[in-house]
Structure 1
Amino acid sequence: MYRVLCRFILLVLASVATASAQPANPLAPLDTSSPSATFQSFLSQAAVIEADYASYLADKDWAGERTLLHDLARLRSLMDLRSIPSATRQKVGDAGFGYLMDILNRIPEVPAASIPGAPGRDWGDLPKKWEIPGTQIRIEKVEDGPQAGEYLFTGDSIESLPDYHALIIGQPPLKPARFDDWRNEQIRLTGPIFPDALTRALPKSIQFDVLGTPFWKVLFTLAIVVVVAVVTWQWAWLTRRLRKHSSKVVSLGWHLVTPILLFALVVLADWFIDYELNVSGEFAVGEDIAVAALLYLAGAWAAWVACFFVVEAIIASPRIPDNSYDAHLLRLTARICAIVAAGAIMVYGANDIGIPALGLIAGVGVGGFALALASQSTVENLFGGVSIFADRPFRVGDFIHYGDGGGVVEAVGPRSSRIRALDGTLITVPNGDLAKLHISNYSARQKCHFQHVLGLRYETSPAQLEWLATEIRRFLSEHPMVEKSGGLPRVVVVGFGDSSIDMEVRCYVVTGDFGAFLEIQQSLMLEIMRMIEAAGTGFAFPSQTAYLTRDEGIDLEAKARIEREMAERSAGVPQEPAAGSAPRVG
């Protein structure tokens, strides 16, 4: 009965205090136009929070907790928390309220009229900063940012409050207060799930503080961490088994669920730890940093897998073959997007937990430059791969000839290409080297060139040659796989060789498949052989003809006559025309 009566009285007092302290418009921003306005806004908002807290203790429910959290958030607007990592600002600001309340209750009351900006006096130009008398707690005008021109408790003062609090908490309060030790109230506070009777009944051996948090809360937090880790690991193990016999898209889908599950579990665990366990102090700050790091890691992981999942889902459509240029280009794009997305999330997360983003980006830039210098060949191959994807000189399945090698292209990756040689050897060629070579793509041909020179025997008559040329030309013109355009097919005698009469046969076979061309070429050549046989001639073989005769020597009479003629010509004797020679004119 006594407890019920006390609870009823406490609830009535809390309701009265709330009615008197709550502003007419709870959405109106707190006044921060001067040091006096900021200080008085803190005191009035603190009274509201005191009433909220008393009401919450009297009847712990979700509505009371939401009201308390809302009013604490309004009070944090009086603090310049820009120098504090965003992941821990809420915890630091809420703790700052408890520290500051305990300190103000143990120092002489500050006369309201003495604070710069107090009503009833012309203050002229207000000072840029003001310290609470007898302390180093400072209210200062913000010069830049969204709250420029407002007077706020400085970040340095907020961060120093734990030290100031440790020095003064042992002294008795100088004025009556509803709660003598606000910081202890914050440390012991729990959410609606944990009844106060249960927490008070816990053994003393687990109620001592560890890093500003009761030990039992630390143990509970560690148990939650273990549950999250075990559930995530078990799910990852299950999905690995499911992915073994799945397609790429389904496998990546299962893989994507793991970071999403981790993200959801961490969010749920953080909500429970923050609003039900209500950890505090250095332990709470560490928990916030760890949670933020895990969330950003899970987000980066999910972004990485999602890029590949989307690309593989696109490739899985019937329009894009798995080993086509477009497929490999999409995979390269996915890799680049995954690196950029995951890197951006990690940099943003590092900034959120207190690692300066600009410094991190600069470090990454310098490290990337050094890495690029140390791995020039790798970078060259990557750019070579990009150029191959852009130019598309060949595709998977094409038969190409490059430099001193050739074969069928089996894969085109971001760093290298794999080519199967004619003897079955798999050759891996760096893209940087391949991009520099002259490449002949035989599979890109729309038609194949058929050109042969027939060496016919010299005994072949002109009539036979004319008949044979006409018949071969007619046969090729009637063949369905031979192109008829541009003066082709052409069958003509092109020369007299050492041992044959050469007849050229030239046309185009309408197929880009080299194997099909070889079959068609064989059928054409066999039919031409039959025509040569039908013409009564044949192929000539390289040969020489030896003529045997008796050597009768030289003409001795002619020799003597020439010698005599040359001697007389040298002596100047007029010469008679030789018999059978033409008379000299003029």
Structure 2
Amino acid sequence: MTKGIRIRAWVILASFFILIIHGLPGLPQAQSQPLASAENNADFAPPSAYIRAFDANEMLTEYPLAPADTSSPRASLESFISLMSEANRLVLEAYEANRKLLDLGEESALTDSQIDQRIDLARVLFDRAQEIFDFSGLPTATREETALENIMLMKEILDRIPLPLPETIPGNPAGSYTYDVPDLPDRWTLPQTRITLQKDENSGYLFTPETVANIPNYYEQIKDFPSHQGATQDLFQFYTSSPGDLLPPPWYVWIENADPWLMEVYEGQTVWQWIALIGLAVLLTAAFLGLRHWHVRRPVPLHAARRKLFHLTLPVAALLALQLLQYLAVEEINITSHVVIGLNLVIEAVSWALLAIIVYLIIDFVAATILSQDRYRETLDASILRTGFRILGITAVLCLLGYGATRLGIPLFGVIAGLGVGGLAIALAAQPTLENLIGGIILYADRMVRVGEFCQFGEFVGTVESIGIRSTRVRALDRTLVTVANADLAKMRIVNYTRRDRTYLRRFFGLRYETTPDQLRTILMDIRAYITNHPDVMDDTVRVRFLGYNGTALEIEVAADILKSAYEDFLAVQEDIFFAIYDIIQKNGSGFALPSTTAYFAKDKGLAEERQKAAEHKAEDLRGAHELPYPSYAKTSCTDNSAPSAPETTEEAYKDGKTAAAR
């Protein structure tokens, strides 16, 4: 029971598909309408009706710079068909003649020079025909190759579709060059097609970019239709299946005489073209990998400039390999259609990227060559130059990539707008880096420090080891490496000891209180004489003075300018002076005050009564004369030549006092 149901279901399904294929009974059948042609429709004309007979050699001789007539839709269409028909005839004549010469040495009606002349004339006519198209929608990188293919495809399309009568198309015939005809439409579309000619203010009526973009699709739809001109050879198929530029090279005869399967077409290319392209790519890839293997095993040069050249080898080799692949694939193997578009786009993109890398490395090499000089070694000038070259390299890379993007069809203004927004975000995120960059510029402009200088930065001191555009490295006295951001360094109080023209020496010494005044005078004179006569001391800056009494010693000051800027040299001179001071103090019977306490014991003789009374009488006299300056100072000074004199020696002061200051 189940089996019978399944059989009936399959029968019903099969009947349904048969009805779909043959049409349901009672319903009107869709009839395939034959393509209108000039033979069965009086409103249409064959392409031959548009051809204006002319001699290409004579025309180019008399009017070598004459452009195609695009003054009207009719003139543009007639010019294109006439130019392409004549170019097609010249190419096929040259090909047949060349084949006879190469194939078994048959005689030909044309000589080699005549064959070459026909190919040259055909190229000129193809260039004239390209003037009737607006190729602005094609990427610049592939425009040259695809433009020739598009005009060949358009010729084959127009050969296979019905064309209106020439007199029904707006405008004057080709060759009139009447661009001032009134009431011409801005756009004109070929009847029953989407092929459109649009007026351009500078170039006349051109096939629109939309039409150009759809030419391959139009051709695929009608490529199996017969040609209205009765042509036996499809110009586009001939061009895409043969190597070389219009005229195949001699070795193509071997392929034509080989197995027919080599001429079968897959994805727009013949089998032999696929084999040649893949083999060429594999060969060049193997050669590059071999070079890379050899390059990696080589020792890297130690010199910076040579190391940059060493790194240039692989990018240059890769660029040359890609250019060789593109030349052989396009010019010799003649890869066409969408395959050559994809191949050219990939090669173009990679080539511009490699070229940008090469230019950056060349700029880096120039920078390394300049910075290898001793005067630039690890200085701020070197950092600025290195950064300047780096910015120059990045700018060159961006320019090259931007230009390469335009050749690939990427709108540059959109890229710039995107970079502007992205640059703003990066600038906000990289604000500390920009601050350090500005700080580095400030350091360079003010030239505060240089490499090798001994400075004090805020609370620490050290020797500058390197100055970068972002940070500065300082070797501290304890040999630690301190890295300071340039933005912070520019705000610090910097004391540069290395840039002193001379070094200031100022020291204090304490002598024992037992030193007599004459001893002190002699010591001061001897120290002053020695320092003044020292060859590394500026004599007019020497100062040796007795400063006074402190709690432990008789304090003297020694100051002078040492004629040494280097700190080590200054320490040597200072050491020499300190030894001399020590010898002078010892020679004069004194010594340095020690951190101790000395108690002096003596019999107390009381106060001097005579001097006490004299002082009291003096005060009474001044009080009686209302001249006593206390508690308010008098306007006149009080002097008394009869006042007692100070003790003459230090020993008398000690004897008169009950105790003396302890040291």
Range into which the TM-score falls when normalised by the shorter chain: 0.7 to 0.9
Within a 5 Å distance, the mapping from 1:17-56 to structure 2 comes to 19=57, 24-56=62-94
Structure 1 residues 509 and 283, CA gap change in structure 2 (3 angstroms): same
Tell me: CA distance 1:278–1:437, structure 2 relative to 1, closer, same or farther (3 Å): same
* CA–CA distance in structure 2, aligned partners of residues 581 and 389 of structure 1: 72
Task: Write the deviation string for residues 267-293 of structure 1: whole angstroms up to 9, x where unpaired.
Answer: 232122111111111111001101211
Tell me the equivalent position of 2:455.
Answer: 400
CA distance in 2, matches of 1:492, 1:381: 49
Distance 2:554 2:280 in 1: 95
SS of the residue aligned with 1:401? strand
Match status 1:256 vs 2:294: no
Could you give the per-residue CA deviations for residues 175-197 of structure 1, whole angstroms, max 9, x where no partner exists?
233x5422211220211546332
Q: Deviations over 1:353-408 (max 9, x none)?
A: 12211111222222222233334333333333333333332122222332343322
1:323-370 deviation line (CA, Å, top 9, x unaligned): 122211111111111111111211221121122111112222222222
Greater Cα shift, 303-312 or 375-384: 375-384
Is 1:456 aligned to residue 495 of structure 2?
A: no
Instruction: Say which SS state the counterpart of residue 443 (structure 1) adopts.
Output: coil
Give the conservation status (yes or no) of the 8 Å contact 1:451–1:506: yes
Once the two structures are superposed, the pairs formed by residues 511-530 of structure 1 within 5 Å of their partners are 511-530=564-583
Q: Aligned partner of 2:65: which letter?
A: L
Task: Give the corresponding residue for 1:562.
Answer: none
SS at match of 1:429: strand
Deviation digits for residues 520-543 of structure 1 (CA, Å, limit 9, x no counterpart): 221221122112222322212244
C-alpha contact (below 8 Å) 1:102/1:180 kept by paired residues: no
Q: Does 1:188 align with 2:241?
A: yes
**1 CA distance for matches of 2:601 and 2:130?**
124
1:498–1:542 Cα contact (<8 Å) kept: no
Tell me if structure 1 keeps the 8 A contact 2:277–2:329.
Answer: yes
Unaligned 5+ runs, structure 2:
1-53, 100-111, 607-615, 626-663
Aligned residue type for 2:350: L
Which deviations, in whole Å up to 9, do the C-alpha atoms of 1:114-151 show, x marking residues without a partner?
332215899423221222233211111124xxxx3522
Match of 2:544 in 1: 491
Q: TM-score, normalised by structure 1?
A: 0.83
**2:228 equivalent among 174, 180, 197:** 174
Answer yes or no: is the 8 Å Cα contact 2:383–2:467 preserved in 1.
yes
Query: Could you tell me whether the CA contact under 8 Å between 1:21 and 1:47 is conserved in 2?
Result: no
1:68 Cα deviation after fit: 4.8
The residue that corresponds to 2:35 in the other structure is none
Q: How does 1:128-143 map to 2 (within 5 A)?
A: 128-143=186-201
Unaligned ranges ≥5, structure 1:
1-15, 554-577
The letter of the residue matching 1:353 is: L
2:555 maps to what in 1?
502
Larger mean CA deviation between 76-85 and 35-44 belongs to 35-44
Larger radius of gyration: 2
- Name the amino acid aligned to 2:517: P
Shift of 1:239: 4.5
Alignment-mate amino acid for residue 73 of structure 1: D
In structure 2, relative to structure 1, the CA distance for the partners of 1:580 and 1:109 (3 Å cut) is closer
The alpha carbon displacement at 1:113 in A equals: 3.1
CA distance in 1, matches of 2:422, 2:528: 70
Q: Match for residue 481 of structure 2?
A: 426
- CA–CA separation in structure 1 for the residues paired with 2:265 and 2:618: 144
Aligned positions, number: 539
Which of 59, 64, 88 is equivalent to 2:98? 59
Equivalent residue in structure 1 for 2:599, among 515, 522, 546: 546
Alpha-carbon distance in 1 for matches of 2:480, 2:367: 31
Q: CA shift at 1:579, angstroms?
A: 12
Q: Paired residue for 1:564?
A: none
AA paired with 1:273?
Answer: A
TM-score by length of 2: 0.74
> Shift of residue 205 of structure 1?
5.0
Q: Does 1:114 align with 2:153?
A: no
Moved more, 99-108 or 70-79: 70-79
Q: Name the structure 1 match of 2:354.
A: 298
Distance 1:552 1:504 in 2: 37
- 1:265 aligns with 321
Q: 1:55 to 1:445 in 2, by over 3 A?
A: farther
In the alignment, what sits opposite 1:316? 372
**Once the 2 structures are TM-superposed, how far is the Cα of residue 452 of structure 1 from its aligned partner?**
0.6
Q: Which moved more, 1:528-537 or 1:187-196?
A: 187-196
Quickly say closer, same or farther: Cα 1:231–1:475, change in 2 above 3 A.
Answer: farther
> Residue 317 of structure 1: CA displacement?
3.7
- 3-state SS of 1:176 partner: coil
Q: Deviations over 1:395-428 (max 9, x none)?
A: 2222233234332222222332222222222233
Contact 1:446 1:512 in 2 (8 A): yes
The alignment partner of 2:206 has SS state of strand
Q: How far off is 1:18 after superposition?
A: 5.0
Tell me the equivalent position of 2:443.
Answer: 388
* Structure 1 position 126 matched with structure 2 position 181: no
Tell me what 1:571 maps to.
none
1:22 and 1:580 map into 2 onto residues whose CA distance is 136
Match of 1:569 in 2: none
How far apart in 2 are the matches of 1:67 and 1:377? 65
| Whole-angstrom distance in 2 between the partners of 1:52 and 1:530 | 115
8 Å Cα contact 1:300/1:341 also seen in 2: yes
**Which whole-Å CA distance do the structure 1 matches of 2:466 and 2:551 have between them?**
49
Residue 102 of structure 1 is matched in structure 2 by: 156
Provide Cα deviations, 1:236-263, integer angstroms capped at 9, x if missing partner. Answer: 4545555623311111123234333333
CA distance in 2, matches of 1:503, 1:225: 91
Range moving further from structure 2, 111-120 or 81-90: 111-120
Q: Secondary structure at the match of 1:252?
A: helix
Q: Which residue identity is paired with 2:183?
A: D
Please state how far the C-alpha of 1:160 moved relative to its aligned partner.
Answer: 0.6
SS, match of residue 573 in structure 2: helix
